[in-house]
Structure 1
Amino acid sequence: MGKVVTFGEVIMRLSPPGFNKMKQSNSLDFFFGGTEMNVGASLAQFGLTVQHVSNVSDDFVGTAAIGCMQGYGIDTAHITKVKHPLGLYFMEVGSGLRASQITYNRLHGAFANIQPEQVDWEKVLDGCTLLHWTGISPAISEGAYQTLKEGLTLAKQKGITITADPAYRSNLWQYGRNGFEVLRELVGLSTVFIGGVNEVNEILGTDFSRDEAGFIASAQKLMETLPGITTVYDKIRTGLSATHQKIYAQAWDGTTFYTTPEIEISDVVDRIGTGDAYAAGLIYGIETAMGMEETLAFANAACAVKHTIVGDVNLASVAEISEVAGGNTSGRLKR
């Protein structure tokens, strides 16, 4: 295994304690996270070598964010301190029929001001075997888009595996670019697609159905249109309430369809970062040369376990996740 590189914003989450609403609280709990950093932190917990590329604020908050990443085991050598504040988001955690709510303050923060000349991609990609990105990063600013594009272009030239989670967030694309066009371009530089029918339809402008046949057809169309993509991984969620979820995973490798049993999480503690935990599970499977079925089961279990952990990052070990992947969901006390 080589080095996994993640690129994206480091952001602070502020939440009232427990399930309180903001107007009930006089204090806020905080966590450092960020979609790609969450993936990197989980992989570092699994024992992989991980380096994150980002900007943070040049103040004690940025210093604390770097310390947090280092505590997870992430290499922060390519984190740059800049004279802009760290991005923030506020979250009220829902329960039962009351949904969680999030509002962001990130479009003028440290990461939004990143520029291509700040990142020496040759150094970053030295020893790298996998580069991970999501659709959040190029949505934030022109600088973030151009910086990521440079990294993906060089990684592709070097034959590095590139995992793409092209999540589209309409409220972020405010700097003049067409989000779907940008995501299609960047997915075209990638090798592994983490998304389903919705994401393919958005990027290609298609209208595939959301059943199994539609997923296979959409994945095949994506591979034909963007031939660098070799595998498509998807996660299916059924939300019964804010604190009761069901998930399963599926994949297509160009010839074979794979799926997992559904896992039910009846007492969700924290849903934030569950998709990142899924992506980290997939990357761990890829980097450790697991088979497709084992990789998919591990990723689905990683996603499920993260629902039980407070904060943005999945802190579960490989052993804990493997036990759930093997079918043990009893939660029985271990002594």
Structure 2
Amino acid sequence: MNKILTFGEIIMRLSPSGNRTMKQSHGMEFFFGGTELNVAASLASMGGEVKHVSCVSDDFVGESALAFVKSFGIDTSFITKNEHPLGLYFLEVGSAVRASRIAYNRLNGSFANIEAGKTDWKKALEGCGYFHWTGISPGISESAYESLKEGLQTARDMGIEITTDPAYRSNLWKYGKTGNEVLKELVGYSTIFIGGVAEINEILGSQFSSDKEGFLHACRELKQQVPSIHKIFDKIRIGVTASAQQTQGRALVEENYFETELLEVNPVVDRIGTGDAFAAGLIYGLQHFDDEKALHFANAACAIKHTILGDINYSSAEDILEVMAGNSGGRIKR
């Protein structure tokens, strides 16, 4: 039961190079990613055994996306294809006082048109100890929501740990259901919550503050309303500028509160996928360490991802453990 299953879109990112704006660019770099795929690939880079469930376009772009996923050793047996184009997004990378900007083109893509009832979830979850999902997927389309719900019901019945990062994106949810209604329902199948006060407030319709006391009150209220949740882990990111960030983790497990030190990253190479690196680090940590050490590992994974271009944290578990141990001077390894 060491394998991890992830469910979500494989999306292409198009970005001008060298912190350029779109207006001043004539070419763009592309990267494959997607919130849940970022978690899957990061886990695979750490040495984890991962399966990914998704749907890609039935063309050379979809084939390229599949080849990318396979390059990490991820099991792609449960990735289907259809005639819709692969989803994509455009990113202008900011610097210093200029913020990054993103525009999405995903609501009519291949993953948005994934067919519910087509995945053999029992077979997909065979040998898995963890199933990870995020709030992005059920916001993309009703069929993605229905497919995810089928997977969560199966995982619950099989006694698998279900981790959720219930990220809310207001530019999604165009098919008639509200985010907080759906996310609260799906979180009800989950056992480990990766999120903080903002996510809890969105799901519960509450107004807890983001300080430590507010976090503790929010966690207790979430656990009362959603009894299946037994561990809550939160990533705090403090943006000094677009080029300088600080990261920290905190958690409530049963009634035990713990937090990590602040890790500073300056300069930032790429902020995309840093939350996914945290989630991947946490899942890997929970498989190998106690809860408190898992949180420290997740925070180090989040910090090191800020230094890596693209959506995915390519760091090994050894790389992350070095940062976690305080070896962050950046000396050349010979």
* TM norm structure 2: 0.99
Percent identical residues = 58
How far apart are residue 332 of structure 1 and its match?
1.2
How far apart are residue 293 of structure 1 and its match?
1.6
Per-residue CA deviations over 1:200-244 (Å, capped at 9, x if unaligned) read 111111111111111111111111110000100001111011110
Q: Partners of 2:136 and 2:303 in 1: how far apart? A: 22
In the alignment, which residue of structure 1 is the partner of 2:323? 324
* Structure 1 residue identity aligned to 2:180: F
In the alignment, which residue of structure 1 is the partner of 2:332? 333
Answering whether residue 135 of structure 2 is matched by residue 139 of structure 1, we say no
In the alignment, which residue of structure 2 is the partner of 1:30? 30
Q: Partners of 2:111 and 2:88 in 1: how far apart? A: 11
How far apart are residue 19 of structure 1 and its match?
0.5
* Structure 2 residue identity aligned to 1:114: I
In the alignment, which residue of structure 2 is the partner of 1:82? 82
Q: Partners of 1:99 and 1:118 in 2: how far apart? A: 41
Report the secondary structure of 2:117's partner residue: helix
In the alignment, which residue of structure 2 is the partner of 1:293? 292
- Divergent runs of 4+, >3 A: none
In the alignment, which residue of structure 1 is the partner of 2:308? 309
In the alignment, which residue of structure 1 is the partner of 2:111? 111
* Structure 2 residue identity aligned to 1:330: G
Per-residue CA deviations over 1:139-182 (Å, capped at 9, x if unaligned) read 00000000000100110011000000000001101110011000
How far apart are residue 65 of structure 1 and its match?
0.2
Q: Partners of 1:329 and 1:47 in 2: how far apart? A: 22
In the alignment, which residue of structure 2 is the partner of 1:168? 168
User: Is the 8 Å Cα contact of residues 44 and 72 (structure 1) preserved in structure 2?
Assistant: yes
How far apart are residue 47 of structure 1 and its match?
1.1
- In the alignment, structure 2 segments of 5+ residues that lack a partner are none
In the alignment, which residue of structure 1 is the partner of 2:101? 101
Residue pairs, 1:1-335, within 5 angstroms: 1-288=1-288, 290-335=289-334
Report the secondary structure of 1:327's partner residue: coil
How far apart are residue 26 of structure 1 and its match?
1.1
* Structure 1 residue identity aligned to 2:264: E
Q: Partners of 1:59 and 1:50 in 2: how far apart? A: 24
What do you get for the CA RMSD once the two structures are aligned? Answer: 0.7
Q: Partners of 2:243 and 2:35 in 1: how far apart? A: 21
How far apart are residue 18 of structure 1 and its match?
1.3
User: Is the 8 Å Cα contact of residues 62 and 86 (structure 1) preserved in structure 2?
Assistant: yes
* TM norm structure 1: 0.99
How far apart are residue 276 of structure 1 and its match?
0.2
How far apart are residue 86 of structure 1 and its match?
0.0
How far apart are residue 287 of structure 1 and its match?
1.9
Q: Partners of 1:155 and 1:298 in 2: how far apart? A: 26
> Between Structure 1 and Structure 2, how many residues are aligned?
334
Q: Partners of 1:276 and 1:78 in 2: how far apart? A: 21
Is the deviation greater in 131-140 or in 213-222?
A: 213-222
User: Is the 8 Å Cα contact of residues 13 and 89 (structure 1) preserved in structure 2?
Assistant: yes
Q: Partners of 1:118 and 1:244 in 2: how far apart? A: 44
User: Is the 8 Å Cα contact of residues 220 and 254 (structure 1) preserved in structure 2?
Assistant: no
User: Is the 8 Å Cα contact of residues 136 and 167 (structure 1) preserved in structure 2?
Assistant: yes
* Structure 1 residue identity aligned to 2:323: V
Per-residue CA deviations over 1:31-72 (Å, capped at 9, x if unaligned) read 000000000001111111100000000000000000000111
Q: Partners of 1:264 and 1:251 in 2: how far apart? A: 20
User: Is the 8 Å Cα contact of residues 47 and 316 (structure 2) preserved in structure 1?
Assistant: no
- In the alignment, structure 1 segments of 5+ residues that lack a partner are none
